Structure 1
Amino acid sequence: MYTPPQFRVEDLGEIHRMMRATRLCSLVTFGAEGLQATSLPLILDSEEGERGTLYGHLARANPQWRSDIQGEALAIFTGPSAYITPAWYAAKAETGKVVPTWNYTAVHAYGTVEFFAEPEPLLAVVSRLTELHESMREQPWAVSDAPDSFVAAKLKGIVGLRLQITRLEGKAKMSQDKATEDRQRIAEGLGESGDAEDLAVADRIPR
């Protein structure tokens, strides 16, 4: 990922926070059929391995897991993003020499991916994913709420994945290369938006 120094995120804890804030990511691999990608939620286990380990699952019918994957797999976590209009820059009125840009956050996690189909570890992954995304509900649903025979049948339709992270790249492009006045105007402009992503970006712009 192209990352100029001013946009680079190097703190492991912050990178992990960015990853956990992403509800859906993309798993990209290269094999005999060329590049393949799947959108899916992943769990980050930050205690496993030096940089953490990712867990998730794919549909058994998905050909990606059956490919002869070559080299590293890549999990892409894309955070909040927002269009930045030139109208918010002081130079717009002074010289007109401004162009639009885009603010965003992203994490690229690389590593060797492994797939597994054993019922016990599969159930553990599915249960952890469910607990993670149900935790904020007033009456959270649990995998154990469904009949055991039904769950067992569903597990046969998926395969689990484990990706131990060997390399991490974090990026937060939040107008750090702009003057303080411009950053303030950008944050105020985005803050007037009703869009949740615009508001999230506004909160991250350094003042």
Structure 2
Amino acid sequence: MYTPRAFALDDLPEIQQLIQHTRLAQLVTFGEHGLQASHLPLLLNPEEGPNGTLYGHLAKANPQWHDLSNGSEALVIFAGAEAYISPAFYPAKAEHGKVVPTWNYIAVHAYGKADVFSDPERLLKVVSALTERHENGRAQPWAVSDAPTDYIDGMLKAIVGFTLPIDRVNGKRKLSQNRSAADMAGVREGLAASVDVRDQTLARFIPQGVAE
């Protein structure tokens, strides 16, 4: 991921926080069938390995798991808040007009080689942990144990799990840090005034005060 210095996100705890807040990641691999991508919910153990370790599973019918099992490096993309930035947000537009549209966003790219497994006990731990994470906060959370045991056993036979220690990670916060403080404030105010909740979300990340 192209990351100019002004946009670089180097703080590992912040990177891991973004990973954990991203509900659906994109797993990208390259193998016998070329590039493949799957959209997956993943778990992060931040204490396992220098950058943390990801856990997830794929359908056994999905050929992408073969790319993981052959030892090839995988890329996992965690996309955070994002928004279109109109030149109309910048006070500089009225001053000299030398402005163009852009897109602001927060993203993390994680790289590593995965270990694939099909052991039912390990698979059950992964799917149970994923379920607990996403059911948390519901008035009546569903648990894997709510389903018949033989049904869950059959479902586990249809998936393969994987662990992916993160060997390297690249974080980026493109939040108008290369603009003046006035332009940054204009971006923040313009996004906050939008009717689109995605714009409002990104507005909260735009830095206050002097641009970096």
- TM-score by length of structure 2 reads 0.94
- 1:44-78 deviations in Å (ceiling 9; x for gaps): 01111111000011011001112464531111101
Counterpart residue type for residue 75 of structure 2: L
Q: Which residue of 2 aligns with 1:32?
A: 32
Residue aligned with 1:57, SS: strand
Q: Which residue of 2 aligns with 1:95?
A: 96
- 1:136-189 deviations in Å (ceiling 9; x for gaps): 211111101111111111111111011011101100111111111111111111
Distance in structure 2 (CA, Å) of the matches to 1:123 and 1:193: 43
Residue aligned with 1:138, SS: coil
**Between the two proteins, what is the percent identity of the paired residues?**
57
Q: Which residue of 2 aligns with 1:141?
A: 142
Unpaired runs of 5+ in structure 2?
none
Query: How does 1:34-183 map onto structure 2 within 5 Å?
Result: 34-67=34-67, 69=70, 71-183=72-184
Which is further off, 190-199 or 53-62?
190-199
Residue aligned with 1:96, SS: coil
Q: Which residue of 2 aligns with 1:4?
A: 4
Counterpart residue type for residue 60 of structure 1: K
Counterpart check, 1:13 vs 2:19:
no
Distance in structure 2 (CA, Å) of the matches to 1:126 and 1:83: 36
Residue aligned with 1:204, SS: coil
CA contact (8 A) 1:30 1:70 kept: no
CA contact (8 A) 1:29 1:69 kept: no
CA contact (8 A) 2:43 2:130 kept: yes
- 1:98-146 deviations in Å (ceiling 9; x for gaps): 1000000010010111211110000000000000001121111110111
Distance in structure 2 (CA, Å) of the matches to 1:21 and 1:195: 20
Counterpart residue type for residue 38 of structure 1: S
Residue aligned with 1:75, SS: strand
CA contact (8 A) 2:84 2:104 kept: yes
CA contact (8 A) 1:42 1:129 kept: yes
Question: How many residue pairs end up in the alignment?
Answer: 207
**Aligned alpha-carbon RMSD (Å):** 1.1
**Would the alpha carbon gap of residues 95 and 69 (structure 1) be closer, same or farther in structure 2, given more than 3 Å must change?**
farther
Q: Following TM superposition, where does structure 1 have runs of at least 4 consecutive aligned residues deviating by more than 3 angstroms?
A: 67-71
Counterpart residue type for residue 48 of structure 1: E
- 1:69-94 deviations in Å (ceiling 9; x for gaps): 45311111011100000001122112
